[in-house]
A = this chain, B = another copy of it.
């Protein structure tokens, strides 16, 4: 049986691992945002609409199927719903 202090130390170690993952996520999200902005700038030149709900739906479907847990398709959809909304609204 671990002491309360040992359990707290484990929690702290997990939190540090989460902080490192979060830094990776922020870096990748910014790379993704750069690509979204590039696409947004190109679309009018290709005669394409800025907003493409079919592409969004394909992203939800693909990533939901890609996730092998603990996150379920509905969790990915909740996170990516917020993420794609932000990507659409960031200033160029």
Contacts and interface: CB of A to CB of B under 8 A. Distances in A.
Interface string A5-31: 001101100110111011111101111
Contacts of A45: 2, 4, 7
A25 B47 CA distance: 30
Contacts of A67: 26, 29-30
Interface of A is mostly: helix
Interface size for chain A: under 10, 10 to 19, 20 to 34, or 35 or more residues? 35 or more
Nearest to A9: B46
A35 B18 contact: yes
B38 A14 contact: yes
B82 A47 contact: no
A24 to B, nearest CB: 6
Contact of A4 (B33, B46, B81): B46
Contacts of A23: 63, 66
